[in-house]
């Protein structure tokens, strides 16, 4: 019995250390998620105020991290590239702007996933890639672009993209509200614009711009 215990002790010790390490990384991840959720919803500072858009974008990426990982239908993790420009603080409802970024990045992930699941399983899959860029346009507009290398958007549905409840996703997956809510928030609440371009070769880019200072 003693011999057995002696033999297993080093293994137990190793297991315990691994357990503690994964508990610690789990706790750090929970702390980051709670912090992101708080920033995301701006629970403590609602209303219009000057905000750093990059902080909101980082929170969205943080919350969507589990969705970037490879899975049964997609062999590679989705890579995110940040091309952040020198943005000033922007006067906005930051909780709403965060929601728009969340909708656009979720759509980009869905597009890459949809592409991956259509690809036959032994064909080489190109890695999914999302680029988020920010810059100032005409001095007083802040622009955020979300670009993916998914399949693009078929011409037959292009006029319906912003219609409430329009979706090409399976029942239970999409409600078809993401883009119509984003339009409402950007165009009606922030006097901004949404533009997009898509092609089967290059993928899709959605961009919004809002005035740095609300009119
Ligand atoms: N990046 C993209 N690439 C390809 N198609 C897109 C992209 N973004 C949006 N679409 C198309 O626009 C449709 C409407 O998007 P929207 O975000 O409004 O709804 P949804 O994503 O289907 O559902 P929800 O956002 O409510 O979960 C999508 O179903 C999809 O066909
Ligand atoms: Mg959507």
- pLDDT at 124 > cutoff 60: no
pLDDT of 140 above 90: yes
Q: Which of 128-137, 172-181, 192-201 has the lowest mean pLDDT?
A: 172-181
Q: Which residues surround ligand 2, an ion (CB under 5 A)?
A: 107, 178
pLDDT at 44 > cutoff 60: no
Q: How many domains would you assign to the chain? A: 2
Same domain, residue pair 55 and 101: yes
60 in the same domain as 15: no
On whether both 29 and 57 belong to a single domain, the answer is no
Q: Check pocket membership of 192 for ligand 1, CB cut-off 6 A.
A: no
Binding site membership of 104 for ligand 1 (Cβ less than 6 Å): no
More confident residue, 163 or 118: 163
7 C-alpha to ligand 1 centroid (Å): 57
Does 64 lie in the same domain as 28? no
- DSSP line for 27-54: HHHHHHHHHHHHHHHTTTS-SEEEE-HH
Q: Clarify whether residues 117 and 24 are in a common domain.
A: no
Buried b (16+ CB within 10 A) or exposed e, 186-209: beebbebebebebeeeebbbbbbb
Q: Which residues contact 181 (CB under 8 A, 6 or more apart)?
A: 99, 100, 103
Please classify residue 129 by burial: count the beta carbons closer than 10 Å to its beta carbon, then call 0-12 exposed, 13-18 middle and 19+ buried.
Answer: middle
Token pair, residue 38, equals 């708080």
The pair phi, psi for residue 163, each rounded to 5°, is -70, 135
- Share the mean pLDDT of the chain: 88
56 in the same domain as 29: no
Measured from the CB, is residue 61 less than 6 Å from ligand 1?
no
Q: Nearest CA to 193 among 210, 179, 178? A: 210
* pLDDT band, residue 205 (cuts 50/70/90): very high
- pLDDT reading at 91 higher than 80: yes
Confidence of residue 15 (pLDDT cuts 50, 70, 90): confident
How many angstroms does the Cα of residue 92 sit away from the middle of ligand 2?
A: 22
- Is 161 touching ligand 1 by the criterion CB < 6 Å? yes
Find the CATH number of the domain harbouring 163.
3.30.565.10
pLDDT, mean of residues 165-192: 90
Distance 140 CA to ligand 1 centre (A): 29
For residue 29, what are the domain limits?
Answer: 1-41
Residues 180 and 91 reside in one and the same domain: yes
- Residue with the smallest CA separation from ligand 1 atom 1 is 108
pLDDT digits (tens, 9 = 90+) for 63-75: 999 999 999 888 8
From CA 154, how far away is CA 104, in angstroms rounded?
A: 17
Q: Please tell me the distance between residue 62's alpha carbon and the centre of ligand 1 in angstroms.
A: 21
């Amino acid at each position: 019995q003693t011999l057995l215990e002696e033999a297993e002790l080093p293994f137990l010790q190793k297991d315990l250390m691994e357990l503690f390490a994964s508990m610690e990384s789990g706790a750090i991840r929970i702390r980051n998620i709670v912090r992101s959720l708080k920033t995301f919803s701006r629970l403590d500072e609602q209303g219009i105020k000057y905000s750093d858009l990059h902080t909101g974008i980082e929170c969205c990426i943080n919350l969507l991290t589990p969705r970037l990982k490879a899975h049964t239908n997609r062999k590679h993790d989705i890579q995110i590239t940040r091309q952040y420009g020198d943005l000033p603080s922007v006067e906005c409802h930051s909780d709403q702007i965060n929601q728009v970024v969340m909708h656009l990045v979720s759509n980009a992930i869905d597009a890459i996933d949809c592409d991956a699941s259509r690809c036959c399983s032994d064909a080489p899959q190109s890695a999914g890639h999302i680029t988020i860029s920010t810059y100032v346009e005409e001095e007083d507009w802040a622009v955020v672009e979300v670009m993916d290398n998914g399949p693009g958007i078929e011409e037959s549905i292009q006029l319906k993209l912003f219609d409430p409840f329009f979706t090409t996703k399976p029942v239970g997956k999409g409600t078809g509200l993401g883009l119509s809510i984003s339009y409402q928030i950007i165009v009606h609440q922030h006097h901004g614009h949404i533009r997009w371009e898509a092609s089967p070769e290059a993928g899709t880019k959605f961009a919004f711009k809002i005035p740095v200072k609300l009119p």
